[in-house]
Structure 1
Amino acid sequence: MDEPSVLDYLKAKLTFWKKSNFELARGGEEVQPREEYPVSAGEEKQETRPILLGLPWPILLPVGLALVAQFFLEPPNRSGLPAALFYGAAALAGGIAAWKGWLSLAEGQPEVTVLDHLNYRRTAALTGFLGLMASFLLFGHNRFNPINLTVWLYSLGALVVAFAQPLPVPDWKALGQRLQLWLKNPAIALRLSGWGALLVVVALVLAYFRFYDLNRLPMNMVSDHAEKLLDVGDVLHGQFKIFFERNTGREAFQFYWTALMALIFKTGISFLSLKIGTVIVGVVTLIYIFRLGHELGGKWVALYALFFAGIAYWPNIISRIGLRFPLYPFCVAPVMYYLLRGLRRGYRNDFIWAGLWLGLGLHGYTASRIVPALVIVAVVLYSIHSQSAGRRRQALVWGAIVLFIAFAVFIPLFRYALENPQMFNYRSLTRVADIEHPLPGNPVNIFFSNTWNALRMFFWSNGDVWVHSIPYRPALDVITAALFFLGLVLLLVRYLQKRHWRDLFLLLSIPVLLLPSILSLAFPNENPNLNRTAGAYVPVFLIVALGFDALVRSLYNRVLSRQGKRAVILTGVVLAVATVSTNYQLFFVEYRKNFDQSAWNTAEMGEVMRAFTHSVGTPESVYVVGYPYWVDTRLVAINAGYPEINPELMPEQIPTTRVNPGAKMFMVNPADEQAIALLKEIYPEGWMRRYSSEVQGKDFLLFFVPAMEDSLP
Structure 2
Amino acid sequence: MSEPTVLDYVKSIFKDWNSFQSFLQALFKREDTTQWAKPAEDVTIQLSPETDTEIVQEPPAPKSFPWRTLLVLFLALAGQQTFEPPRTSMANLGIALYIAAFGMAIWAYLRGEWTMTPVSQIEPGHEDSSIRRGPFILAILFSAATFVMMGGNKFTSLNITLWILSIVFFLRAFWLSEPRSTSLPRFDLKSFFTSTEWNIRITRSALLVFAMIAVIVFFRTYRLYDVPPEMTSDHAEKLMDVYDITQGQFSIYFPRNTGREPLYIYLCALFAELFTGTSFLTLKVVAVIGGLLTLPYIYLLGKEFGSTRIGLLAVLFAGIGYWPSVIERFGLRISFYPLFAAPTLYYIIRGLRRENRNDFILAGIALGIGLNGYTPFRIMPFVVVALFGVYLLHARDWQARKQSMIWLGLLAFTSFIFFIPLARYMIEFPDMFVYRAFSRLSTVERPLPAPLWQLIPLNLWNAAKEFNWYNGDIWVHSIPGRPALDIVSGALFLLGVTLMLIRYVRSRSWMDLMLLLAVPFFQMPSILSLAFPEENPSLNRTGAAIVPVFLLVAIGLDTLLNSIHLREKANGESIMSENRRAMGQRPLLAGSIFILLFLFSFAQNYNLVFHTYYDQYRASAWNSSEMGAVMKGFMDRGGSVDQVWIVPFPFWVDTRLAPFWAGAPGRDIAIAPDNIPATVELSGDKLFMFTLDDAVTMSELKRLYPQGTLSQFHSAVPAHDFYVYQIPASQ
Same fold judged by TM-score > 0.5? yes
Residues 1:320 and 2:320 are matched in the alignment: no
Q: CA deviation at 1:180?
A: 9.2
Q: Which of 572, 585, 603 in structure 2 is aligned with 1:581?
A: 603
- AA partner of residue 661 (structure 2): N
Q: Which of 623, 639, 644 in structure 2 is aligned with 1:622?
A: 644
Q: In the TM superposition, what are the counterparts of 1:275-674 in structure 2 within 5 Å?
A: 275-385=284-394, 391-558=400-567, 560-674=582-696
Q: CA deviation at 1:140?
A: 1.0
Distance across 2 between alignment mates of 1:193 and 1:47: 36
- AA partner of residue 414 (structure 2): I
Q: In the TM superposition, what are the counterparts of 1:200-215 in structure 2 within 5 Å?
A: 200-215=210-225
Residues 1:190 and 2:200 are matched in the alignment: yes
Residue 690 of structure 1 aligns to a residue whose secondary structure is strand
What corresponds to 1:138 in structure 2? 149
- AA partner of residue 595 (structure 2): V
Asked if the contact 1:17–1:564 (Cα under 8 Å) also holds between the matched residues in 2, the reply is no
Distance across 1 between alignment mates of 2:526 and 2:330: 19
Distance across 2 between alignment mates of 1:673 and 1:437: 35
Asked if the contact 2:66–2:113 (Cα under 8 Å) also holds between the matched residues in 1, the reply is no
Asked if the contact 2:564–2:589 (Cα under 8 Å) also holds between the matched residues in 1, the reply is no
What corresponds to 1:168 in structure 2? 179
Q: CA deviation at 1:103?
A: 1.2
Distance across 2 between alignment mates of 1:170 and 1:95: 41
Q: Which moved more, 1:694-703 or 1:273-282?
A: 694-703
Q: CA deviation at 1:616?
A: 3.1
Residue 704 of structure 1 aligns to a residue whose secondary structure is strand
What corresponds to 1:690 in structure 2? 712
What corresponds to 1:76 in structure 2? 86
**Change in 2 beyond 3 A, CA 1:419/1:198:** same
**Change in 2 beyond 3 A, CA 1:175/1:453:** closer
Asked if the contact 2:167–2:418 (Cα under 8 Å) also holds between the matched residues in 1, the reply is yes
- AA partner of residue 201 (structure 1): A
What corresponds to 1:3 in structure 2? none
Q: CA deviation at 1:362?
A: 0.4
Q: CA deviation at 1:190?
A: 2.0
Asked if the contact 1:135–1:151 (Cα under 8 Å) also holds between the matched residues in 2, the reply is yes
Residues 1:106 and 2:117 are matched in the alignment: yes
- AA partner of residue 205 (structure 2): W
C-alpha deviations, 1:382-401, integer Å up to 9, x for none? Answer: 23325678633322211211
What corresponds to 1:28 in structure 2? none
Distance across 2 between alignment mates of 1:330 and 1:91: 32
- AA partner of residue 114 (structure 2): L
Asked if the contact 1:433–1:521 (Cα under 8 Å) also holds between the matched residues in 2, the reply is yes
- AA partner of residue 656 (structure 2): R
**Change in 2 beyond 3 A, CA 1:417/1:691:** same
Q: In the TM superposition, what are the counterparts of 1:253-292 in structure 2 within 5 Å?
A: 253-265=263-275, 267-292=276-301
Q: CA deviation at 1:15?
A: 4.4
What corresponds to 1:88 in structure 2? 99
Q: CA deviation at 1:442?
A: 0.3
Q: Which moved more, 1:120-129 or 1:533-542?
A: 120-129
Distance across 1 between alignment mates of 2:118 and 2:63: 26
**Change in 2 beyond 3 A, CA 1:699/1:562:** farther
- AA partner of residue 155 (structure 1): S
Distance across 1 between alignment mates of 2:138 and 2:222: 48
Q: Structure 2: which 5+ residue stretches go unaligned? A: 1-16, 22-58, 568-579
Q: CA deviation at 1:514?
A: 0.8
C-alpha deviations, 1:542-590, integer Å up to 9, x for none? Answer: 1101111111122111594433421221111010011000000001110
Residue 142 of structure 1 aligns to a residue whose secondary structure is coil
Q: Which moved more, 1:611-620 or 1:462-471?
A: 611-620
Residue 177 of structure 2 aligns to a residue whose secondary structure is coil
Q: In the TM superposition, what are the counterparts of 1:150-161 in structure 2 within 5 Å?
A: 150-161=161-172
Q: CA deviation at 1:260?
A: 0.9
Distance across 1 between alignment mates of 2:133 and 2:321: 48
**Change in 2 beyond 3 A, CA 1:487/1:615:** same
**Change in 2 beyond 3 A, CA 1:702/1:182:** closer
Residue 141 of structure 1 aligns to a residue whose secondary structure is coil
Distance across 1 between alignment mates of 2:406 and 2:471: 39
- AA partner of residue 260 (structure 2): R
C-alpha deviations, 1:13-65, integer Å up to 9, x for none? Answer: x94999xxxxxxxxxxxxxxxxxxxxxxxxxxx966475xxx52211222222
Root mean square deviation of aligned Cα: 2.5
C-alpha deviations, 1:592-650, integer Å up to 9, x for none? Answer: 00100110010111112112101131111211122221100111112112223222123
- AA partner of residue 480 (structure 2): P
* Count of paired positions: 665
**Change in 2 beyond 3 A, CA 1:118/1:652:** same
- AA partner of residue 529 (structure 1): S
Q: CA deviation at 1:343?
A: 1.3
C-alpha deviations, 1:479-533, integer Å up to 9, x for none? Answer: 1000000100111111111111100000011111111001111111111100100
What corresponds to 1:7 in structure 2? none
Q: Which moved more, 1:614-623 or 1:601-610?
A: 614-623
**Change in 2 beyond 3 A, CA 1:185/1:226:** closer
Q: CA deviation at 1:361?
A: 0.4
What corresponds to 2:724 in structure 1? 702
Residue 446 of structure 1 aligns to a residue whose secondary structure is helix
C-alpha deviations, 1:289-326, integer Å up to 9, x for none? Answer: 12211222221111111111111011111111111111
- AA partner of residue 482 (structure 1): A
Asked if the contact 1:274–1:323 (Cα under 8 Å) also holds between the matched residues in 2, the reply is yes
Asked if the contact 2:656–2:669 (Cα under 8 Å) also holds between the matched residues in 1, the reply is yes
Distance across 2 between alignment mates of 1:137 and 1:599: 44
TM-score (norm 2): 0.87
- AA partner of residue 644 (structure 2): V
Residue 391 of structure 1 aligns to a residue whose secondary structure is helix
Residue 688 of structure 1 aligns to a residue whose secondary structure is strand
What corresponds to 1:42 in structure 2? none
Residue 130 of structure 2 aligns to a residue whose secondary structure is coil
Distance across 2 between alignment mates of 1:161 and 1:543: 37
**Change in 2 beyond 3 A, CA 1:68/1:657:** same
Q: CA deviation at 1:256?
A: 0.7
Q: CA deviation at 1:656?
A: 2.4
Q: Structure 1: which 5+ residue stretches go unaligned? A: 1-13, 19-45
Distance across 2 between alignment mates of 1:201 and 1:255: 33
Asked if the contact 2:78–2:97 (Cα under 8 Å) also holds between the matched residues in 1, the reply is yes
Asked if the contact 1:387–1:500 (Cα under 8 Å) also holds between the matched residues in 2, the reply is no
What corresponds to 1:36 in structure 2? none
What corresponds to 1:24 in structure 2? none
Distance across 2 between alignment mates of 1:549 and 1:583: 21
Asked if the contact 1:278–1:322 (Cα under 8 Å) also holds between the matched residues in 2, the reply is yes
Asked if the contact 1:382–1:388 (Cα under 8 Å) also holds between the matched residues in 2, the reply is no
- AA partner of residue 628 (structure 1): P
**Change in 2 beyond 3 A, CA 1:105/1:390:** farther
